[in-house]
Amino acid sequence: MVLGVQTGGCAKAPALASSVGKREYNMAATQRWLLFGTLLASLAGLAGCSSIGTLNTVNSLTPGDSGTERIATDIAFGSDPRQKLDIYSPTAGGKAPVIVFFYGGSWNSGRRQDYAFAARALAAKGFVVVVPDYRLVPQVHFPAFVEDGASAIAWTRSHIAEHGGDPARIGVSGHSAGAYIALMLALDPQWLARAGAPGAIKAAVGLAGPYDFLPFVPGGAADLALGGPGDLAFTQPIRFASADAPPVLLLNGAGDTTVLPRNATNLAAALTALGGVAQARIYPEIGHIGILLALSKPFRGKAPALEDSAGFFHKQLG
């Protein structure tokens, strides 16, 4: 099973554009969206860069999301070169609620700079947004990337007030493998406790995340990242569902064949059965990449992922 988006080379750009032009949109899609998918592929080829990086560039050229800025970059939250983060903020003053966003990439690829489009979208809704990198396979395996996420949360709680954020109002979000990290941190308290930030997460939103995905496909991304000795049930966010978990919103596309929607519905059902606050929302005709693209300005009309995420966080974080 392959989770997330590879962001390391232009070979992925045509695949993303093909997904945009064919898989994510039915025959009723407007010519404008099809044209934009073609443009995205062309720009990726000309730029010689990744699909997500190209999307980030095109997003920056599209009007909207004014009043945001990247206020800090390359801040270290650990000693490894991958343990760095960037911060985005609304220009309005005051202590804003905080979202820590983890990108996807099968736990083996990705870089925070390519997800500025997602950070700026959330910042435009009134949040201070932290986007960390984390160590990747094959350098590390489970639970190292979860531990890195916990360290980023601990740094955020200790320092975000210096950057206009409220350390008492921290939420986590992410896409695909990043949603896995976000939900593991929200549901299994050991990681934040070890990092010195117990209870720091007050709400969580997952986009197309794997939460209940045993058995692993031998040799697949999940197997390479999380497989090994020991009880694999402890790699599954659903294993840690509890009544005292922070409120959770799980978004998925009905057309997602990479991370099946049952991951969201199963976890939401497990949490609510125990008395927790959780909801799964499944968008019709949206696939694994489409739900991420819906955070960008060019593709925002395809699913209300941004509005649903921001509304949930404002309700839970105040």
Is 28 domain-assigned? no
- Check which CATH number belongs to the domain holding 221 and give it: 3.40.50.1820
Is 312 domain-assigned? yes
Side by side, the strands of the sheet bearing 128-132 are 68-76, 84-90, 128-132, 96-102, 165-175, 201-207, 248-253, 278-283
Is 20 domain-assigned? no
Is 203 domain-assigned? yes
Mean pLDDT across the stretch 148-173? 98
Is 178 domain-assigned? yes
Task: Provide DSSP, 61-73.
Answer: HSS---SEEEEEE
Range of lowest pLDDT (31-35, 288-292, 308-312) = 31-35
Nearest partner of 79 among 23, 8, 135, 124, judged by Cα: 135
pLDDT of residue 47: 35
Q: Whole-angstrom Cα distance, residue 74 to residue 60?
A: 20
How many domains does the chain fold into?
1
Nearest partner of 65 among 20, 124, 119, 16, judged by Cα: 124
Is the pLDDT at 155 greater than 80? The verdict is: yes
Is the pLDDT at 102 greater than 80? The verdict is: yes
- Reduced to 3 states (helix: H, G, I; strand: E, B; else coil), residue 78 is coil
Is 12 domain-assigned? no
Is 285 domain-assigned? yes
Is 240 domain-assigned? yes
Residue 115: give the domain boundaries: 67-317
Q: What pLDDT band is residue 35 in, cutting at 50, 70 and 90?
A: low
